[in-house]
């Protein structure tokens, strides 16, 4: 429960590779626009059921981020526009959590709501409404489930979005989740000075972080050194920073794109995979 990977899907090969790594948590997007795409009550559970089955088979814990509205719920706009009627959001969250109540107890609310690409307008009030509604639905469907958020990118910790939003939603969250990449502030300073003071005593997860090998002069070795840097920062703060989830495990082959994964297109392990695997074994 202290280490995880972000994955786009959870195929049998992906699940087996996560088990080989030793990471206990798999973070996946449970998109409202994918699960209930065409009309209210028209659910398609085939993809998420398959993910659930693979997590169950390999003993992984799923962290499902609920996000993104279908066109029928937001006036025919793109997925990053919030729903027009919060009851529709409640009903979706309730149905999803109830369906997986025996298998999933970690539920995130939206993804990087401080960025326009993921929540149109980036309104703190809009996000608070989404959290209030989602928490009520999650608790009604499964009182044992945990609510995670605000799932912000590092930008929110620097521009005040994170601190301002936490004043209104901290009491609604069981675990505080943030994201960080190397183009942001120094990791130690961000976690100590920009995150911890605004968590109101709740534990913190770095729910998304990673590096593309081609972003480093040293390639795959540079990616491995980045992983080591993050893990050392985490180890020094485990009293309150209790989990770290990297992005990501596997990228499909793409032209002129090295991807962020710690496995290669042929599924062989990059050095970062070995660094993380050894660290997990040494520091469970």
pLDDT in tens, 229-250: 999 999 999 999 999 999 999 9
Which residues are bridge partners to 64 per DSSP? 28, 107
Per-residue pLDDT, averaged over 253-282, amounts to 93
pLDDT value, residue 252: 85
pLDDT at 254: 82
pLDDT at 258: 85
Cβ neighbours of 236 (radius 10 Å): 12
pLDDT at position 76 over 90: yes
- Measured from the Cβ of residue 272, the count of other Cβ atoms closer than 10 Å reads 25
pLDDT at 23 (0 to 100): 98
pTM reported for the whole predicted model? 0.96
3-state class of 242 per DSSP? strand
Reply yes or no on whether the pLDDT at 78 is more than 90: yes
pLDDT value for 255: 80
Nearest CA-CA partner of 25 in 149, 207, 162, 152: 207
Q: Which domains does the chain have, with CATH numbers?
A: 3-282 (3.20.20.80)
Cβ density class 21-56: b for 16+ within 10 Å, e for less: bebbbbbbbbbbbebbbeeeeebeeeebeebbebbe
> Regarding beta strands 175-179 and 204-209, do their DSSP bridges make them parallel or antiparallel, or are they unpaired?
parallel
pLDDT of residue 260: 94
Give, for 91, the enclosing helix (H) or strand (E): helix 86-99
Average pLDDT over residues 94-103: 98
- Closest to 48 in 3D by CA, of 109, 107, 111, 117: 107
pLDDT at 261: 96
pLDDT digits (tens, 9 = 90+) for 117-138: 999 999 999 999 999 999 999 9
Q: Cis peptide leading into 249, omega within 30 of 0?
A: no
State pLDDT tens for residues 161-171.
Answer: 999 999 999 99
Q: Which residues contact 266 (CB under 8 A, 6 or more apart)?
A: none
Which residue carries 């050392």 as its tokens? 232
């Amino acid at each position: 429960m202290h280490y995880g990977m972000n994955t786009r899907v959870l195929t049998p090969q992906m699940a087996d590779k996560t088990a080989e790594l030793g990471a206990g948590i798999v973070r996946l997007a449970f998109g409202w626009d994918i699960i209930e795409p065409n009309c209210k009550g028209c659910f398609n559970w085939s993809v998420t059921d398959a993910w659930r089955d693979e997590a169950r088979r390999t003993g992984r814990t799923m962290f499902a981020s609920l996000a993104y509205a279908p066109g029928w719920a937001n006036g025919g706009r793109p997925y990053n526009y919030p729903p027009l009627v919060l009851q529709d959001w409640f009903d979706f969250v309730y149905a999803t959590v109830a369906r997986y109540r025996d298998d999933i107890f970690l539920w995130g609310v939206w993804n990087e709501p401080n960025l326009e690409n993921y929540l149109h307008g980036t309104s703190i009030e809009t996000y608070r409404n989404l959290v209030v509604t989602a928490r009520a639905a999650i608790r009604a469907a499964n009182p044992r489930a945990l609510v995670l958020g605000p799932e912000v990118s590092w930008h929110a910790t620097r521009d005040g979005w994170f601190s301002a939003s936490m004043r209104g939603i901290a009491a609604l969250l069981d675990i505080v989740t943030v994201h960080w990449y190397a183009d942001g502030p120094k990791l130690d300073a961000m976690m100590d000075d920009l995150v911890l003071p605004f968590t109101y005593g709740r534990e913190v997860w770095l729910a998304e972080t990673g590096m593309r090998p081609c972003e480093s002069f040293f390639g795959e070795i540079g990616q491995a050194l980045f992983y080591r840097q993050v893990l050392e920062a985490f180890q020094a703060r485990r009293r309150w920073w209790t989990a770290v989830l990297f992005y990501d495990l596997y990228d499909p082959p793409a032209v002129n794109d090295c991807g962020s994964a710690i496995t290669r297109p042929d599924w062989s392990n990059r050095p970062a995979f070995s660094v993380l695997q050894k660290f997990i074994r040494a520091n469970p």
